[in-house]
Amino acid sequence: MSIENISVNKSFGGWHKQYSHHSSALNCKMQFAIYLPPQVSSGNKVPVLYWLSGLTCTDENFMQKAGAQRIAAELGIAIVAPDTSPRGDGVANDNAYDLGQGAGFYVNATEMPWSKHYQMYDYVVNELPELIESAFPVSDKRAIAGHSMGGLGALNIGMLNPLRYSSMSAFSPISNPVNCPWGQKAFTTYLGKDKSTWLNYDASELMKQATQFVPAKVDQGESDNFLVEQLKPEALQAAASASGYPLDYQLHEGYDHSYYFIASFIEDHLRFHATHLKK
C-alpha cells in the first residue's frame, strides 16, 4: 500500500509525521498523522494508540493541541490520528457541521450516496492498522481513544473488537447517540430509518449487552455545553451498572468540551493505556 509523506517534525526525541494514501475502504484519498516515539530508533516495535477526533476535526487537532507527545515519548507508545471522514471532490457532503465531511461518526454507511465513501468503521478497524503495521516499526498491540464523536467511535470499536484492543478511553463521548440530536441526525442519514440498525453504534447499548470487557476509562467535564442534550453520560453509567462493566468514569468540575480539557488529562489516559498495552 503506497503512502506519501506530507510533513515531518521532531518532537520530544521522536517524530511527528503526516501521510496521505488512497483508501480502498473509503474510495478516496485520506490523510493521517503518526507520532513515533524515540524508542523506535533502537529498532524496537512499539504499541499504538489510535486517536479518533470529534466533529469538524482532522488529523491535526489532537496532535497540535493535546500535548500528548511528551508522555508518549516517555512511555514508548506510537499515536495514530486518522481524519474524521472521507473527503474530496465527489464525496457526499452537507452544509451542516455535524453531517458529511468532518462528521463520519465512525460507522459503515448503508444509505446512498453516503455508502460509497463513508465506511469509517472498516477504515479504522481494518485498513488503517494494516497500513500502519506494515509501514512503521510498530507491534500489533493496540489501544483506542477519542473525543466526543471520536469518543463514541473509540468505545464502540473497542467493545465490538475486544480481542483487537488492549484498552479504550474517551473524553466527553456521545454516549447514547440513538437518543440525542447529533446521533439521530447522523444515523438516520447514514444508516436509514430502521433504528435497530443503529444499536451497534451506540456505546450505551453495547455496554449494556457486553460480556467481554475491554478496560475502559471515560472523562467528562461538568461544564460541558453539550453535556445534557448531546452527550448523556448517565446512560453509559447505567449501562455499565447493568452489565457489571468495569468502567472508570470521572466527572471534572469546571471543565468544558475543549482541548483545554483534553490537555489537562491526556497524561492520565496515556498511562492508563500503557498499563494495559504492556500486559
**Residues catalogued as catalytic:** 148, 224, 257
Contacts by residues 252-257 (CB-CB < 8 Å, ≥ 24 positions apart)? 252/219, 252/220, 252/221, 252/222, 253/222, 253/223, 254/221, 254/222, 254/223, 255/221, 255/222, 255/223, 255/224, 256/221, 256/223, 256/224, 256/225, 257/148, 257/172, 257/221, 257/224, 257/225, 257/226
**All cell numbers assigned to 65:** 493541541
CB-based contacts of 96: which residues, under 8 Å, 6+ apart?
A: none
Say which residue the cell 512503521 belongs to: 136
Please tell me the chain's helix, strand, coil percentages from 3-state DSSP, rounded to the nearest 5.
40, 25, 35
- Say if CB 213 and CB 245 are below 8 A apart: yes
**All cell numbers assigned to 269:** 489516559
Question: What residues are paired with 36 via a beta bridge?
Answer: 15
d(CA 2, CA 7): 16
Q: What is the DSSP letter of 125?
A: I
**All cell numbers assigned to 130:** 494494516
- Which phi and psi angles does 215 have, rounded to 5°? -50, 130
**All cell numbers assigned to 27:** 474510495
